[in-house]
């Protein structure tokens, strides 16, 4: 039994068009995301084998692979849920996502400031990476992270609640080298209901990091 499994898309391949083409969604989910799931499962097996044989020569590389594939699986699982063909705009109290709207305003000064920061963080990734909105439990604030690959440059303990994939496979077939245009278009498919749900859940499980001695 594999530990990790590929989640089904919550919509069909064409649901996010014209922002993201069906061809990109199909390849991205069925090939790229699937490869991270397989990679995480394979690496866990290789680590089990290393323990059985007490053969630790490859442990450094295996731990790196685990971080890469597992983080890829987690971020993509969030990514699909973060998007909807009925999305976009900004979170509003009238839509039942007022707590998220308030948290963004408190943490970034304004929605416009937050949007600009996340857009820039995603668009200026060097090589492969992500722009991520995360809940940081020590401060109780939202922060933006610019993630390298899937796992680098993150603050420990922060929970991603809105993720923009800035790897070339996320946009190149449609946007070619215009990463800035892709990131700008992404805002039209953000599912604020899903982001708000993740914000509430992240806030409610902070005690694990705040344990008193």
Residues that bind Mn ion (CB under 5 A): 165, 167
For residue 135, the surrounding DSSP H or E stretch is strand 129-136
Smallest gap, in angstroms, from Cβ of residue 178 to Mn ion?
17
Bridge-based pairing state of the strands 129-136 and 159-165: antiparallel
The SS3 of residue 209 is coil
DSSP H helices in the chain = 22-27, 34-53, 59-82, 98-108, 111-123, 172-175, 179-186, 192-203
Between residues 76 and 198, which has the closer beta carbon with respect to Mn ion? Answer: 76
Smallest gap, in angstroms, from Cβ of residue 199 to Mn ion?
23
Smallest gap, in angstroms, from Cβ of residue 203 to Mn ion?
27
CA distance 117 to 131: 9
State the Cα torsion 24-195-100-142 to the nearest 10°.
-80
Smallest gap, in angstroms, from Cβ of residue 69 to Mn ion?
12
Between residues 167 and 192, which has the closer beta carbon with respect to Mn ion? Answer: 167
Smallest gap, in angstroms, from Cβ of residue 29 to Mn ion?
9
Between residues 100 and 134, which has the closer beta carbon with respect to Mn ion? Answer: 134
Residue with nearest beta carbon to Mn ion: 165
Between residues 83 and 103, which has the closer beta carbon with respect to Mn ion? Answer: 83
Between residues 114 and 167, which has the closer beta carbon with respect to Mn ion? Answer: 167
Smallest gap, in angstroms, from Cβ of residue 185 to Mn ion?
16
Show Cβ contacts of residue 171 under 8 Å, excluding neighbours closer than 6 positions.
20, 24, 178, 179, 182
Show Cβ contacts of residue 107 under 8 Å, excluding neighbours closer than 6 positions.
114, 141, 142, 143
Between residues 165 and 194, which has the closer beta carbon with respect to Mn ion? Answer: 165
The SS3 of residue 116 is helix
State the Cα torsion 179-183-188-193 to the nearest 10°.
140
């Amino acid at each position: 039994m594999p530990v990790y499994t590929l989640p089904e898309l919550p919509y069909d391949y064409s649901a996010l068009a014209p922002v993201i083409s069906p061809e990109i969604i199909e390849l991205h989910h069925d090939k790229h995301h699937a490869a991270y799931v397989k990679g995480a499962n394979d690496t866990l097996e290789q680590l089990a084998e290393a323990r059985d044989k007490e053969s630790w020569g490859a442990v450094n590389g295996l731990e790196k692979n685990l971080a890469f594939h597992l983080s890829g699986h987690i971020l993509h699982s969030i990514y699909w849920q973060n998007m909807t063909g009925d999305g976009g705009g900004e979170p509003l109290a009238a839509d039942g996502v007022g707590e998220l709207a308030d948290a963004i305003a408190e943490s970034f000064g304004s929605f416009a400031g937050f949007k600009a920061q996340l857009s820039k963080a995603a668009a200026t990734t060097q090589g492969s990476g992500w722009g991520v909105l995360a809940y940081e439990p020590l401060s109780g604030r939202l922060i933006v992270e610019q993630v390298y690959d899937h796992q680098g440059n993150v603050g420990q303990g922060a929970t991603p609640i809105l993720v923009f994939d800035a790897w070339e496979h996320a946009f190149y077939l449609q946007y070619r080298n215009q990463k800035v245009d892709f990131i700008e278009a992404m805002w039209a498919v953000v599912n604020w209901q899903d982001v708000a749900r993740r914000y509430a859940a992240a806030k409610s499980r902070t005690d694990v990091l705040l344990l008193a001695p």
